[in-house]
Structure 1
Amino acid sequence: MQPLLLLMAFLLAPKAQAVKIIGGHEVKPHSCPYMAFLRITIPDRKQCGGFLVREDFVLTAAHCWGRSITVILGAHNIRKDERTQQVIPVKTAIRHPNYHPTVNDIMLLQLQRKATLTAAVSLLRLPRRGEQVKPGMLCRVAGWGRLDLNTSTATLHEVELEIQEDEQCISRYRRRYNRATEICVGDPGKNQSTFKGDSGGPFVCGNMAQGIVSFGKKDGKSPHVETKISSFLLWIERTMRRFQSPD
């Protein structure tokens, strides 16, 4: 019986490790304290990711817009009532004025109250003007999106993805890809990607947000497209000043 049990353990082990954000892994709880979970209820029920860039603002993708959005900060398992969580309704959802599907896919969420910064809730830095990322760089992206076509997760997962040459996405998406405002991400030879529900999450290089998860193919295969944050810094700064909450 013992050799049979060993054989079964050997055969089952790879399957146990396969249930992850496509090609990624579950993160250590609260190791990405800037992450925001977006619960959107009106007009449609859906979820997205986002990240805290100021105590009263979350940055995300414009296609995550809704008339009723609740932000959950400090979460690891979004199906549990964790003591680290801060649940804050969105006061105003501000899409880029020139947004339309897959173009200028960026949005700021003004929170109804300021978040309290803790070990589990902190800000993520934005790039400086003119700062560019390059093909070959390895960066990280996290989210609560699906692990494959049929598997959802309640816990935060993360995957490391390589920046690709623009030509990879021009070939895959043709006119839908704009090298000036987007980043091409994910080695097409690897089964690693973000997926449904990860939209709006940050593409983090070092300790800085360089992109926002925007769109990809329905099969989840790489490469996919991130909104290039450095192209929108002026709009972000002006919008946060315009909607600044009084102290």
Structure 2
Amino acid sequence: MHFLLPLLLIFLQSAAARAGEIIGGRETKPHSRPYMAYLQYKDKNGKENICGAFLVQENFLLTAAHCYGSSINITLGAHNIKKKEGTQQRIPVLKAIPHELYDKQTFNNDIMLLKLKNKAKLNKAVNLLRLPKTKRRVRGGKSCTVAGWGRNRQRKYPDTLHEVELKVKEDRDCMKLYPKNYNNSTQMCVGDPKDEKASFKGDSGGPLVCDKVAQGIVSYGYADGRNPRVYTWVASFLPWIKKTMKAHEY
């Protein structure tokens, strides 16, 4: 295991760390996940990247802090991002607010709010995703879903939104795989090593949805797509989310 740790450290500091096409998933029913947003941004080198995000208020989305960059563009109501669908809403991002304690080395506090310039128009194709009401952990073995436009093992990005069902794992599984990085007070461990199903590069920032509630945010994992992978635990950031949205109200 020791020889893997330097490789993991290098990996976590690279773009490859951004977990986040769905592996082993399927195409979603169009607009069945109306909270999903397609996020495009440029990194510090000017390279274009994609992430997922999700609508939690008409003028706020949640995503991962490592999806921060310049020229952030958001598309709501999309299924096929290569087509100009009548359901799509492209709204400029007024302000990106990453968590002030986000750690680029360990990916701890990997959460960011995006304030939109204008409120989204809610309808069947664009709607909100509920946040947890309490700081209660999702039990190990629970089946939840993740959706995104991220790439697959063949390193191809789909045009349409894909989804996959994943099992929540115990913290000890991620503490064993990511001993220097996993923080059980702010992160979740997701994905059964026996399953050929996972979030992958490009899915970062998308929500882990359990019983129609956003419990996690796709954060990081090994570049080969193995499970389990690490998700930001949304419930642990409820005070920060509420305080930050209130501070940036219109």
With normalisation by structure 2, the TM-score equals 0.88
Q: Please state how far the C-alpha of 1:130 moved relative to its aligned partner.
A: 2.1
What CA distance in whole angstroms lies between the structure 1 residues aligned with 2:247 and 2:50? 27
Matching residue of 1:28: 29
Q: Please state how far the C-alpha of 1:41 moved relative to its aligned partner.
A: 3.1
Q: Say whether the 8 Å CA contact 2:190–2:230 is kept in structure 1.
A: yes
Q: One-letter code of the match for 2:197?
A: Q
Structure 2: give runs of 5+ residues left out of the alignment.
1-20
Higher radius of gyration, 1 or 2: 1
2:73 aligns to what SS in structure 1? Answer: strand
1:208 aligns to 2:209 (yes or no): no
What CA distance in whole angstroms lies between the structure 2 residues aligned with 1:151 and 1:136? 30
- What whole-Å deviation, never above 9, does each CA across 1:121-148 have from its counterpart, x for those lacking one? 0000000122221101000000000022
- What whole-Å deviation, never above 9, does each CA across 1:88-141 have from its counterpart, x for those lacking one? 111100000000121100000000110000100000000012222110100000
- What whole-Å deviation, never above 9, does each CA across 1:31-90 have from its counterpart, x for those lacking one? 000001001135431000010000000100000001220110000001110000000111
Q: Say whether the 8 Å CA contact 1:164–1:186 is kept in structure 2.
A: yes
Matching residue of 1:161: 166
Q: Please state how far the C-alpha of 1:232 moved relative to its aligned partner.
A: 0.3
With normalisation by structure 1, the TM-score equals 0.89
Matching residue of 2:79: 76
Aligned CA RMSD, in angstroms, stands at: 1.0
Matching residue of 1:56: 59
Matching residue of 2:14: none
Identity %: 54
1:190 aligns to what SS in structure 2? Answer: coil
What CA distance in whole angstroms lies between the structure 1 residues aligned with 2:153 and 2:53? 20
1:75 aligns to what SS in structure 2? Answer: coil
1:90 aligns to 2:93 (yes or no): yes
Q: One-letter code of the match for 1:161?
A: L
Q: Say whether the 8 Å CA contact 1:183–1:228 is kept in structure 2.
A: yes
Map 1:121-140 to 2 at 5 A: 121-140=126-145
Matching residue of 1:40: 41
Higher relative contact order (CA 8 A, sep 6+): 2
Matching residue of 1:152: 157
2:133 aligns to what SS in structure 1? Answer: coil
Structure 1: give runs of 5+ residues left out of the alignment.
1-19
1:67 aligns to 2:77 (yes or no): no
Matching residue of 2:232: 227
Moved over 4 A (4+): none
What CA distance in whole angstroms lies between the structure 2 residues aligned with 1:188 and 1:159? 15
2:243 aligns to what SS in structure 1? Answer: helix
What CA distance in whole angstroms lies between the structure 1 residues aligned with 2:117 and 2:102? 24
